[in-house]
Amino acid sequence: MQNVGVVGLGYVGLPLALEFAEAGLNVVGVEKDPKKLSALRAGESYVEDVASERLAPLVSSGAVRATDDYAALGDATSTSTGPSTRVSQASAVW
């Protein structure tokens, strides 16, 4: 099975990671926020558009794995990077 990496598991990266996993790929996601990592490892979503009921089985099966270690991307055949949105950038757009 192919491995893919997703850097940044926010409002873009997390749904993307789930789509990859549901398509049958193994996903390693890199996230630096310890609170997000803790939630992900527990199968709990913090993204409004992603239900924990959708995330949890993918985490428990190992199809989606979250880490803060970029070295985990070494086995990925492809890597995607989610955008980083700072509050000051976002408020300028809205």
> Whole-model pTM above 0.75?
yes
- 20-45 burial, b for 16+ CB within 10 Å, e for fewer? bbeeebbbbbbbeeeebbebbeebeb
| 37 neighbors 44 (Cβ within 8 angstroms) | no
Q: Is the pLDDT of residue 77 over 50?
A: yes
pLDDT band at 86 (very low <50, low <70, confident <90, very high): low
- Write out pLDDT tens, residues 20-38: 999 999 999 999 999 999 9
What domains sit in the chain, N to C, each tagged with a CATH number? 3-93 (3.40.50.720)
Q: Is the pLDDT of residue 92 over 60?
A: no
